[in-house]
Amino acid sequence: MSIAKPSVPRGTRDFSPEKMKKRNFIFDTLREIFKKYGYEQIETPAMENLSTLLGKYGEEGDKLLFRIVNSGNFVNEDLDAFVNLSKLLSKSPEEDELNTASNRIVNTICEKGLRYDLTVPFARYVVQNRNEITFPFKRFQIQPVWRADRPAKGRYREFYQCDVDVVGSDSLLNEAELIQIIDEAFGKMQVNTVVKVNNRKILTGIADYIGEPERIVDITIAIDKLEKVGWERVQEELFERGLAEEAVKELKSIVQVVEMNNIEKLDFLEKVLFASEVGLAGVKELRTLLGYLELLNVKTAVEIDLTLARGLNYYTGAIFEVKALDVEMGSICGGGRYDNLTGIFGMPGVSGVGISFGADRIFDVLNQLDKYPQDSTQGTQVLFINFGENEEKYCLPLVSKIRAAGINAELFPGSVKMKKQMAYADAKKIPYVALVGDNEMQQNVISLKNMQSGEQTTITLEELISKLKG
């Protein structure tokens, strides 16, 4: 019997201890900032009922849901359905007939799915826990999500999202605060970014203006791909979705306006969308947001981008995407306003807004830029060499005191050859090795070796703690 070569599924990754130190720098940085702004952490299950997930992300999103096959003897329980599907496949049936049979099978054997994002589960959580929640409710969530996407650079099937949302308030102060969080987070990570902003109300107004008000979803799905596939492919898709040639031409003339600053773009939109109440409301919201940002010390560039659509169906107001300026990568953060996401779960009228930091893409960006602070990737700071049973008993309390002082310390488990213990320290990049033998124990001191320079000094425990903390 041949042994299968071990591997991980495409679109997933293992993370070594060194990589986890770097990833935890991202998580810890975001967690600290989220808490500073008053957000509280929650978690939701990895799987949700399909009834919770389906229909919330648009037709594209539904195709990318990972569905979980029910446990149990589901085949025998619905054997007739499988037999009927087999017969259909053998006689080349009509597409509608085949889809009906296939959907019946899928719905029977798959009642749950892996979460596609953290926003829809959050909306479900709010509705279920409405009586225990204080509104406005400010939450953050750092957990993995799964999408059955085609793996590519910066695109994974399993990846972490770090979400921060506030529900129960329609104030644009929340949007301004989220941009502050973006500014502070990437400032601490030393990543140069630009925040692209738009408003779904403006896109609705543009759909009205070009005479295709019923096609707003088709328009947003298509132009959301503009950066990836270019205008020609977007135009083809719009034609395929039934938009008239003149409407597509007018759409391009509006959304591809580039050589204007933010205020000029808003002035231009006011003139174009003068007859659209919803479009003008979107323009007003962006003016208000920009006004708030002028009062804040936001260093990150904020740019109105009329091609920004965020293809998810639940966005209704301001939308955001963040791009790294020094690395070729898709958006590393994004989100927007959703006015009635909880309504689909029976709790209408609760407005919310949030953003999601893509931890895996940020990880890739920071790796390329090599911007991790040295202390963020520091592991064990001092290793005590184990010379034998007596030395072991003497060193154990010392290591405990060092750890109590907030310093990462180890005592090697076993009195093996010193060469092996030193090799262990080298492999783990431990900067200092402590040697405590008979002489050191009698004098109540520690011989400390700097593994980089080779220099060795004799110091007390208190001096060692002071040195490593300094």
DSSP per-residue string spanning 442-455: HHT-EEEEETTT--
Q: Is the pLDDT of residue 362 over 90?
A: yes
Judged by DSSP in three states, 99 sits in helix
Q: What is the pLDDT of residue 39?
A: 97
Task: Determine the Cα–Cα distance for residues 70 and 50; give it in Å rounded to an integer.
Answer: 12
Q: What is the pLDDT of residue 129?
A: 96
Task: Determine the Cα–Cα distance for residues 432 and 414; give it in Å rounded to an integer.
Answer: 19
Are 16 and 363 a contacting pair, CB within 8 Å? no
Query: DSSP labels for 396-446?
Result: HHHHHHHHHTT--EEE-SS---HHHHHHHHHHTT-SEEEE--HHHHHHT-E
Q: Is the pLDDT of residue 102 over 60?
A: no
Q: Is the dihedral of CA 81, 83, 85, 88 positive or negative?
A: negative
Residue 97 confidence class, pLDDT cut points 50, 70, 90? low
Are 461 and 399 a contacting pair, CB within 8 Å? no
Per-residue pLDDT reduced to its tens digit, 426-458: 999 999 999 999 999 999 999 999 999 999 999
Q: What is the pLDDT of residue 266?
A: 96
What average pLDDT does this structure show over 226-252? 86
Residue 73 confidence class, pLDDT cut points 50, 70, 90? low
Q: What is the pLDDT of residue 211?
A: 87
Task: Determine the Cα–Cα distance for residues 295 and 173; give it in Å rounded to an integer.
Answer: 11
Which of 73-77, 184-188, 431-435 shows the lowest mean pLDDT across its residues? 73-77
Which of 121-135, 182-196, 256-270 shows the lowest mean pLDDT across its residues? 256-270
